[in-house]
Amino acid sequence: MSEEYFLGIDMGGTSIKIAIVNDAYQIIDTVSLPTDPKKEPQEVLQEIISAASKLAYYEKVNSIGMGIAGNLDFEHGVLIFSCNLPKWRNTPIKTTLEKISGKKVFVDNDGNTAAIGSYFLDAHQEANNLVCLTLGTGIGCGYIIDKKMYRGSRYIAGEIGHCTVILDGTPCGCGNKGCLEAYLGVKHISQYAVEYLAGHPSEIISRMSCGDPAKITPALLHKAAVENDEVAKDILNWTGRFLGVLLMSVINYIDPDTIVLCGGLSQAGKYILDPAYEHMRKSGFAQKLPNYNILISKYTSKLGVVGCAMLPSFSNGKQ
């Protein structure tokens, strides 16, 4: 039986990952392009296919899967709105890409494609009900229920980052206040860290950031925590409590057998998971916790693009 090949396009806020993936979910060839929100969608999509066509085995690809952040009509492949791409409002991505490439195209929210990637790579297709949480600039989510992607009646299921956890709390980029994303999003964690450090100075963080507040990121805080910096641990502990709120909410809402954490923040590992579990143990449903498989993805850097590549087969019910 001959090997099959799939093309995945993972369009993020800063870069566009393009990869040829085989039927063993391995990346065979890949290229990356910068995301330029000032360019017209038609130009960007043309550049994507131009770059993809130079990859190994592109000619053997029959279908293309693309993931992108925003409110998206999955059935018609139209990006209705994206905060990161103001020029892409009501863009018919599916029909445009099909016209350029001559191949069948599927387009989905990047939280859903990450969930598909985690289903194949982290869960090895063994999970029946899986929730994938993307912890990065934003807080995304994808639901696989009974081994099928759940998108909601208007294809906007998974925007769990915009659930309000504190009334009239910290302003969020969506226009609301007190969203989970306003506490767990990378930018907001960095802002909180700068404010916290004003009253709790740290020599280690100051050295690592060269005294520049703009360089204080969750990744830097993780490095400082590994060096046993108590201030960094305090900040990540604060973050972890909000992660606990998120995890407990997912368990109460969905009751999945597997939860996968991915994205840059997930790499902080125990420094955010331990306080998350501590918060969860205080829940009235704490006795359920041992039954849940909560894991940090080992494939964060390629989860999205592999999920995009497998989107056509997953959407056809062949998973």
Q: How far apart are CA 191 and CA 214, in angstroms?
A: 9
Q: Which of 136, 145, 133, 144 is nearest to 261 (CA)?
A: 133
Whether 263 contacts 219, CB under 8 Å: no
Q: What is the pTM of this model?
A: 0.90
CB 21 within 8 A of CB 305: yes
Q: Which two tokens stand for residue 214?
A: 């703009």
Tokens 């991915």: give the residue.
262
**Which residues of the chain, if any, have pLDDT below 50?**
317-319
Instruction: Judge contact between 135 and 124, C-beta under 8 A.
Output: no
What does the pLDDT read at residue 285? 61
Domains of the chain by start residue, with CATH: 5-119+301-315 (3.30.420.40), 128-297 (3.30.420.40)
Strand partners, 73: 78
